[in-house]
Structure 1
Amino acid sequence: MAIKRHTIIVEGTLSFRMQRVAAARAGDHGRDVSTLPLLAARLAGGFVRPADQATLVPIVARALSEFTFEELEQVKTRPGMARAVLASLARIWAADIRFDDLRYGSARLRDLGRIEAYLHSHLPIGALLPRDLRDRAIARMAHARATVGNLHFHRLISIDPLWRPLIKTLASVVEITWDPPGARDRSWFPGTILPSKIEPPQDLICDVCADPRAEVVEALRWARELLSDGKIQASDIAITSADLGPWDDHMLVLAAGANLPIHFASGVSALSTRAGQACAALADVMINGLSQDRVRRLSQLSPYLSEAVPADWMKGIPTEAGLFEPEHWASSLEQLSRSDGPSIAATLIPVLRDLDVGPQAAVKLGEILLRGKSLGLWQEALRLGPAAAMEMTLTSLRIADKSDPANKVVWARAADLVGEPRKHMRLLGLSSRSWPRADGVDPLVPDHVLRERDLVDLPRLERDRLAFEVLVSHPGSRVALSRSRRSADGAFLARSALLQRKVTERPLTRTRPPEHAFSEGDRLLARIDDALRLPRIQGVVSCWTDWTIRREPTPHDGGFRKDHPAVTRALSMPQSATSLRRLLRDPLGFVWLRALGMTAPELAVEPLQLDPVTFGDLVHELLRLAIERIEPTPGLVGATPEEIDNALGGAARDIAERWPLTQAVPPKLLWLDTIEEARRRARRGLTIDERFGQGTRSFSEVPFGNPQSPAERVDPWDERQEVVIGQSGIRLKGRIDRVDVKSDRCGVRMSDYKTGKTPRNVREVILDGGAEVQRALYATTIRQLNPEARTIITRLVYLDTMAPAAGLDGDTLERAEETLLHFIDIGVEELGSGVAYPGPDAFAGYNDLRIALPAALDRYRGRKEEGFKAAQQRLAPLWDEP
């Protein structure tokens, strides 16, 4: 039996795939599913094909660069110009307007006509522009009956004027039918118009949701409810909107969490795939510059780097290092102690230098670092826009959903769903801004150049209105509507003009218990009793109650059982002055940091200036290196200003080269300025002193209390000797910024440098409520490590001013030591008994661990402060010490 050939013309990928499924189910082997451009290519024969966007955009870009235009000259180099020109040409081609038509003569159209002529002469063999493809097909109309058979246009809303001559010619050879949805003037059509059934919608209900995300949540609940009875199939359900943009990301994330079978008819965002993320990682480094974080991410996602270098190749590089220059990477890779370090450097350094070139090397970088799908996406993005705009271009790329729409719920644009309506449809975004959308003005062919009614057969506004009417009036379908009260940005949204008919609005709150949950989390929202039985929910509710209602301290505020092993272990380790300050002024923070190991993440982002702590480290490092260059000869106390300046200059040069390998530093010019400011303050620290005594030796960054140190430092003491303080036996460990020791070792002066702003009452400060502990702690340390010292002076040196140092000595220093050790013993005892609540420093702005406290921090502090002081009444008096 001979196969009777016939062709179905569709529009959109959803209708194309569903018609192929319908042909397979019906066993219709003679049915050919096609689009109008593909139909014309089939009639034209041979290897002829429509010229696609990927082919045309690079040619248009070359034409823009080669020609000098009348009107487009000033804007031809703008980003995205090639795509804009091609979009305008596509509209002109669809309207079947010829550039040699005297009715449309203008400089703008002459410019576009030159580009079209350039396309004609530079297209690859076999690729044709739409008008040429149509004319070639008309010339071979004698083969239509054998190659095409009878034609049926399946639910096309409109047909562009470009294709109408072809259809009129086909009507004289084969039978043509069309079942157009909606009422429009189609008197030009030479074939048979099939009547389409329309059922006026009854009792439409529009759910009013909070925002686009809430709309998606309600849509998924609606789909789950339909599927739950077992009678309605996923292939009977569709969710749609005029423009998918505001809802698409939410649909992708929530549908994955709900495990619902959803087909994305318009494809999924390229950035939601690993291949897209590889492109994004490469674009991030290429456009924003080198950094350790960016290169680390790229190495994990790039197919080339993941194969060429070991997975842990960055293990030997400090995570705090910014590495913003190729030279920084070269130095770091040379210092790798791994045996394969040289091979890693040989592989990476050329790539890093290409990355440092920036967007100019985009093509080369893609070919080296990407493979397969990721390379295809990269090349597609380069065709659609300039390399400098790669980050924006990648967000617009989509990848076709490979799943079959025939057995899934469909998420599609309304224009696509018109071709394949379903029994159950939910229409989202029925607000004034989203549906219908306003007509867009062509940026290159505005109305004064070419009237819109001549350029567009069916404007977007009318198309959206028609799509809505078709979907809500489709026979045998049940339609649900929804809209948002607010946009994703919080702007108020009015109802759509399409809802002026009798539509009942049903407000839905964001947190309402749903009748049919779409996911596990949604189910727990609907069944509060089930949620409250879960241990994690019980813990959350208990914590929230303790934080927001109860005024007395609770276990959620920081209490724990007595002699907790983690706390005991933390106290048994050597403590620094900083950790003891935290123990005294924020016991809970001490437990978080020392017992639980909680730290704030440090991201190696290129800063414009160093934060105060890092800048202080920079000054201290300058001081240490300078003193090491001066001591023992000529000695700090005997050095001339020129010798001090020379030592600081050498230290600054060393830091300028070395610090970028271990720290995130500002850009080069700002970095040099930062070093100069640090050098100025360091000079102040080295020149503030008068002579301490003949033969005095000065030491910088003097370590103590480190028994595991491999170095035996004799001057001014052995750093491996333990320092034990107080009755609690706390071991002390750290570094003293500067120590000056007389030749007979009977006099010692300790200096603690401060790079912050000098307090007004610095002369009155002794312990400052436990915030200033270095002078007293270091005096105790010196007494243990240098027993022969009879005179000990401890002082604070603020480097932002020329004011004298703030010193402690004699009886005042001894009383400060006794007071501090007494409260340290109390703090240790309190921690051992399970008392550790927030102290004054917990609420300070510089406390990184503050993020772990309740969000409404001021109200939390006001509610709990009295209870915290009562629970820590033995420690609280320290906070009032001068």
Structure 2
Amino acid sequence: MSASRLRLPRIRRARQLGAASGRAARDAPLNRGRDNEKILAIKRHTVIVEGTLAFRMQRAAAARAGDHGRDVATLPLLAARLAGGFTRPADHATLVPIVARALSELGFEELESVKTRPGMARAVLASLARIWAADIRFDDPRFASARLSDLGRIEAYLRSHMPMGTLLPPDLRDRATAGTGRARATVGDLHFHRLISIDPLWRPLITALAAVVEITWDAPGTLDRSWFPGTLLHTATQPSQDLICDVCADPRAEIVEALRWARELLSDGVTQASDIAITSADLGVWDDHMLVLAAEAQLPIHFASGVSALSTRAGQACAALADVMINGLSQDRVRRLSLLSPYLTEALPADWMKGIPTEAGLFEPEHWARSLEPLRRADGSSIAGTLMPVLLDLDVGPGAAVKLGETLLRGKSLGLWREALRLGPAAAMEMTLTSLRIADESDPANNVVWARAADLVGAPRPHMRLLGLSSRSWPRADGVDPLLPDHVLSEHDLVDLSRLEHDRLAFEVLVGHPASRATLSRSRRSVEGAFLAKSALVQRKVTERPRSRTRTPEHAFSEGDRLLARTEDALDLPRMQSVTVCWTDWTHRLEPTPHDGGFRKDHPAVIRALRMPQSATSLRRLLRDPLGFVWARALGMTAPELAVEPLQLDPVTFGDLVHELLRLAVERIEPTPGLVGATPEEIDNALDAAARDVAERWPLTQAVPPRLLWLDTIEEARRRARRGLTIDARFGPGTRSFSEVPFGTAESLGERTEPWDERQEIVIGQSGIRLKGRIDRVDVKPDRRGVRMSDYKTGTTPRNLGDVILNGGAEVQRALYAITIRQLIPEASTIIARLVYLDTMGPPAGLDGDILERAEETTLRFIDVAVEGLRNGIAYAGPDAFAGYNDLRIALPAALDRYQRRKQEGFDAAQQRLVPLWAEP
């Protein structure tokens, strides 16, 4: 097909379009006339509201009524419309940073000493807003003062530094007043919908508009509105009779009762969600409870004031970044940030921290650099190259807030971060984020509304529940402006309608609305537990109805609430039956039950645990807490370890630190010159080198205190380690000393043969338990016929240390290590097993000879007894189960003392063959 034939359809189509355009041109005057008739038929009018809720509800009402000529606006938006020229009112987010710059750049007469205080910019803007609302001019001689002069300088600074087209409220009002001649064409007739009051700032504008357009005001309440030049449409009200106030335990209980009330209304099949509202004068105390419980209830609830930014993923991403930026680097904080930051989620593999020990604190950039150095992606590229620049910026702190936000955040989270930086300094980011709210995207016209009373006045509903009718919450006391005390500007001149009076009027308007039914609610106690008296607004003509926490509601608000109210339904659930039986076994039965421990004979998990090599610590748990042994070894239960920067090491970790110093020091001294022949200076040099090594290496694997405290901790550990190396009498010439000597580690890749082969298997007792572990220190004579074992302790020395042999099974390590040495060094005829406490200068507690042999026999006998009991399914709590240092106590009943007293006799009877050990000295 030729090119000319391809063009023919296009030419034909163009001719057709030209003909159609000609017909349209001929008919254009007729069409324009018809359109003008339609435009003239639409009468333009504007409804003025206050608050987001009334704004959205009026738009929904216009859409439902097909009122195409209705415009909905607030007074600032009305003024901006009349001012024209793309003018807009200055909002809070725009003004706060400019005020902050004014405070830093200008000098003041009275505000100079406080202008750098946190939150000063917002406080100044709040004072300016009150002055503007009261229509007070800073050049008015009636209000001349140094304080107002300072505020006037800030106002002048704002005028000269605001973005183009943005006007302060007084300037916007004046510009709008000058444009009232165009009001009939631009806004039409005005109707003020349910505004309780109008600030003096806007009254000159309204007076000017009254001469041009018709103005009406649907004015609720009984305030004096004689200044209003238009027509007042007084709303009929009915006396607040037959009001019922539910008296609840606390704010959370109020929310529970409110949701039950809403569920009951919705269940009648007639009431719609759009007919229901829940409100209070201030939502702060109830808002978090409403957010959580509404999600649990799955009710359609619209949050008119928005939801907390921190309740969203975007807000949590900002919070994670602020946490690291302000509080410093740590593994936990960086892990959380990497899960929430859009940039890090995309730039790093999901398992990028797999090679870093979870116990490592990583509080310094250099710690991160050394830990990230060996980590690679699947393609071989370095993870450190991506992450280290970010970590270095995070280490800078709030000074890098802008750069960090632009780098790590995206979309909504970046918008929240920028908004928080506009509202306050980066150092206060954590506090600023808590005040940010995100608009609820649901439609209030189709949902139950959770709103402030001041907002609900403009959009009342047939069913309203008023919360917080206590003396502290409703009405609220008037706040004193910290920058405008009464001696600077009297309250009468500054405030047209006080907060207390506004709350009182809002209450009267809501309960007196003729088309609504109001239900009241109050708390007996505050969140802190303080007693709350009822509000003065409900002192008369209100019937109080107590609502206990445990009452059975007619309509539950959620599945959990339903099961709590209907115990017969809850008891039919298998999980509830299991809980009930467990609770009965714990609290009512004296004999041991399956919920106290025990299991079937030769349980595979227990057999598997017993076949694993055991340490001295696990065998102590076996002897003194068989149930804990099963939990730890058979079920793998462990307490979580959080890498939080501590101010001091816990006792166990501090003991590990001392042992590490001892090991490193002995390795440097042995074999030359040898510990027995080393001088004090040589020991000190070895300890100094060990301390330097630990100071650099431990922060990569452990959570350690801040640097100054960490160095002090190392010094204390060094002092105790030196005592451990210098306390001993000489064991003989030529003696070799070994530190942290492993044994029974068959899977070890090491080739250590001195003082024994660490891979040699150690089997003890008739039960064939395999033993493995690490002895703190072993001294071996040249002929290997004399061996001295030392077990270092960093805890407090017991008073009767010299009388301790097994201590009820708590000190079995000396006996177990002696048994090990007899198998590994069979030629040894003299074995000394010692406990060395490093907190005092007292002598070590040693066992040898017949006493040591009897301790070995007793230990082996009771290990066989404990193993036989486990094989037979006997495993109950022992003495260590109730000790404060037991990290598995959380798995036991909460009232441990009563549980122990109730069950102790039964436990002892079931484990009667093991009980004699617990009385051993």
Report the counterpart of residue 584 of structure 2 in structure 1: 545
Deviation at 1:866? Answer: 1.6
Does residue 686 of structure 1 match 2:736? no
Alignment of 1:721-732 (within 5 A): 721-732=760-771
Report the counterpart of residue 564 of structure 2 in structure 1: 525
Q: Do 2:349 and 2:377's aligned partners in 1 also have CA atoms closer than 8 Å?
A: no
Q: Counterpart of 2:555 in structure 1: which amino acid?
A: H
Going from structure 1 to structure 2, the CA distance change for 1:274 and 1:341 (only over 3 Å counts) comes to farther
Does residue 151 of structure 1 match 2:162? no
Q: Counterpart of 2:901 in structure 1: which amino acid?
A: G
SS at match of 1:610: coil
RMSD of aligned Cα (Å): 1.0
Does residue 874 of structure 1 match 2:878? no
Please give the alpha-carbon distance, in whole angstroms, between the structure 1 residues aligned to 2:621 and 2:686: 35
Please give the alpha-carbon distance, in whole angstroms, between the structure 1 residues aligned to 2:94 and 2:503: 30
Deviation at 1:511? Answer: 1.5
- Partner residue of 1:714 out of 732, 737, 753: 753
Please give the alpha-carbon distance, in whole angstroms, between the structure 1 residues aligned to 2:356 and 2:791: 31
Identity of aligned residues (%): 85
Does residue 216 of structure 1 match 2:248? no
Does residue 818 of structure 1 match 2:860? no
Report the counterpart of residue 167 of structure 2 in structure 1: 128
Deviation at 1:337? Answer: 6.0
Alignment of 1:585-604 (within 5 A): 585-604=624-643
Alignment of 1:174-193 (within 5 A): 174-193=213-232
SS at match of 1:468: helix
Deviation at 1:204? Answer: 0.8
- Partner residue of 1:424 out of 440, 451, 463: 463
Does residue 235 of structure 1 match 2:235? no
Q: Do 2:376 and 2:382's aligned partners in 1 also have CA atoms closer than 8 Å?
A: no
Report the counterpart of residue 44 of structure 2 in structure 1: 5
Please give the alpha-carbon distance, in whole angstroms, between the structure 2 residues aligned to 1:167 and 1:312: 64
Please give the alpha-carbon distance, in whole angstroms, between the structure 2 residues aligned to 1:66 and 1:516: 61
Q: Counterpart of 1:468 in structure 2: which amino acid?
A: F
- Partner residue of 1:259 out of 280, 284, 298: 298
In the comparison of the two structures, how many residue pairs are matched?
A: 882
Does residue 333 of structure 1 match 2:372? yes
Deviation at 1:130? Answer: 0.6
Please give the alpha-carbon distance, in whole angstroms, between the structure 1 residues aligned to 2:205 and 2:130: 18
Name whichever of 418-427 and 532-541 sits farther off.
532-541
Please give the alpha-carbon distance, in whole angstroms, between the structure 2 residues aligned to 1:431 and 1:819: 70
Report the counterpart of residue 407 of structure 2 in structure 1: 368
Cα deviations across residues 573-617 of structure 1 (Å, max 9, x unaligned)? 110000000011111111111111111111111111111000000
Deviation at 1:203? Answer: 1.1
Q: Do 1:334 and 1:342's aligned partners in 2 also have CA atoms closer than 8 Å?
A: no
Does residue 246 of structure 1 match 2:285? yes
When normalised by structure 1's length, the TM-score is 0.99
Cα deviations across residues 439-484 of structure 1 (Å, max 9, x unaligned)? 1111111111111121111110000000000010101211111100
Report the counterpart of residue 270 of structure 1 in structure 2: 309
Q: Do 1:333 and 1:341's aligned partners in 2 also have CA atoms closer than 8 Å?
A: no
Deviation at 1:339? Answer: 5.7
Cα deviations across residues 633-658 of structure 1 (Å, max 9, x unaligned)? 11111111111111111000000000
Report the counterpart of residue 530 of structure 2 in structure 1: 491
Q: Do 1:684 and 1:799's aligned partners in 2 also have CA atoms closer than 8 Å?
A: yes
Q: Counterpart of 2:134 in structure 1: which amino acid?
A: A
Report the counterpart of residue 327 of structure 2 in structure 1: 288
Alignment of 1:835-854 (within 5 A): 835-854=874-893
Cα deviations across residues 245-279 of structure 1 (Å, max 9, x unaligned)? 11100000001011100000000000000010011
Q: Counterpart of 1:255 in structure 2: which amino acid?
A: A
Report the counterpart of residue 41 of structure 1 in structure 2: 80
Does residue 447 of structure 1 match 2:495? no
SS at match of 1:343: coil
Does residue 791 of structure 1 match 2:827? no
Alignment of 1:353-502 (within 5 A): 353-502=392-541
SS at match of 2:756: coil
Report the counterpart of residue 734 of structure 1 in structure 2: 773
Q: Do 2:243 and 2:543's aligned partners in 1 also have CA atoms closer than 8 Å?
A: yes
Please give the alpha-carbon distance, in whole angstroms, between the structure 2 residues aligned to 1:289 and 1:849: 32
Structure 1 runs not aligned, ≥5 long: none
Cα deviations across residues 485-536 of structure 1 (Å, max 9, x unaligned)? 1011111111010011211111111111111011000110121111001111
Q: Counterpart of 2:446 in structure 1: which amino acid?
A: N
Q: Do 1:705 and 1:733's aligned partners in 2 also have CA atoms closer than 8 Å?
A: yes
SS at match of 1:689: coil
Cα deviations across residues 130-164 of structure 1 (Å, max 9, x unaligned)? 11111111111111100000000000000000000
Does residue 308 of structure 1 match 2:337? no
Report the counterpart of residue 750 of structure 1 in structure 2: 789
Q: Counterpart of 2:897 in structure 1: which amino acid?
A: D
Deviation at 1:745? Answer: 1.4
Q: Counterpart of 1:808 in structure 2: which amino acid?
A: L
Deviation at 1:346? Answer: 1.4
Report the counterpart of residue 554 of structure 1 in structure 2: 593
Please give the alpha-carbon distance, in whole angstroms, between the structure 1 residues aligned to 2:427 and 2:593: 55
Q: Do 1:9 and 1:151's aligned partners in 2 also have CA atoms closer than 8 Å?
A: yes
- Partner residue of 1:626 out of 665, 670, 687: 665
- Partner residue of 2:139 out of 100, 119, 125: 100
Does residue 763 of structure 1 match 2:805? no
Q: Counterpart of 2:412 in structure 1: which amino acid?
A: K
Please give the alpha-carbon distance, in whole angstroms, between the structure 2 residues aligned to 1:281 and 1:776: 51
Report the counterpart of residue 14 of structure 2 in structure 1: none
Please give the alpha-carbon distance, in whole angstroms, between the structure 1 residues aligned to 2:771 and 2:462: 76
Deviation at 1:691? Answer: 2.0
Name whichever of 32-41 and 849-858 sits farther off.
849-858
SS at match of 1:793: strand
Please give the alpha-carbon distance, in whole angstroms, between the structure 1 residues aligned to 2:915 and 2:272: 68
Q: Counterpart of 2:814 in structure 1: which amino acid?
A: R
SS at match of 1:411: strand
Name whichever of 800-809 and 763-772 sits farther off.
800-809
Q: Counterpart of 1:111 in structure 2: which amino acid?
A: D
Please give the alpha-carbon distance, in whole angstroms, between the structure 2 residues aligned to 1:453 and 1:839: 74
SS at match of 1:230: coil
Q: Do 2:259 and 2:294's aligned partners in 1 also have CA atoms closer than 8 Å?
A: yes
Report the counterpart of residue 17 of structure 1 in structure 2: 56
Q: Do 2:375 and 2:384's aligned partners in 1 also have CA atoms closer than 8 Å?
A: no
Deviation at 1:201? Answer: 2.5
Give the 4+ runs in structure 1 shifted more than 6 A: none
SS at match of 1:501: coil
Deviation at 1:693? Answer: 2.1
SS at match of 1:115: helix
SS at match of 1:431: coil
Q: Do 1:630 and 1:644's aligned partners in 2 also have CA atoms closer than 8 Å?
A: yes
Cα deviations across residues 850-876 of structure 1 (Å, max 9, x unaligned)? 111111111111211122111111101
Please give the alpha-carbon distance, in whole angstroms, between the structure 2 residues aligned to 1:737 and 1:475: 85
Does residue 196 of structure 1 match 2:238? no
Deviation at 1:690? Answer: 2.1
Q: Do 1:156 and 1:179's aligned partners in 2 also have CA atoms closer than 8 Å?
A: yes
- Partner residue of 1:297 out of 333, 336, 339: 336
Q: Do 2:787 and 2:832's aligned partners in 1 also have CA atoms closer than 8 Å?
A: yes
Please give the alpha-carbon distance, in whole angstroms, between the structure 2 residues aligned to 1:561 and 1:171: 91
SS at match of 1:818: helix
Q: Counterpart of 1:546 in structure 2: which amino acid?
A: D
When normalised by structure 2's length, the TM-score is 0.95
Going from structure 1 to structure 2, the CA distance change for 1:39 and 1:25 (only over 3 Å counts) comes to same
Structure 2 runs not aligned, ≥5 long: 1-37
Report the counterpart of residue 167 of structure 1 in structure 2: 206
Please give the alpha-carbon distance, in whole angstroms, between the structure 1 residues aligned to 2:377 and 2:833: 45
Please give the alpha-carbon distance, in whole angstroms, between the structure 2 residues aligned to 1:210 and 1:701: 60
Please give the alpha-carbon distance, in whole angstroms, between the structure 1 residues aligned to 2:617 and 2:918: 16
Q: Do 1:736 and 1:752's aligned partners in 2 also have CA atoms closer than 8 Å?
A: yes
Please give the alpha-carbon distance, in whole angstroms, between the structure 2 residues aligned to 1:186 and 1:107: 34
Please give the alpha-carbon distance, in whole angstroms, between the structure 2 residues aligned to 1:602 and 1:435: 46
Report the counterpart of residue 117 of structure 1 in structure 2: 156
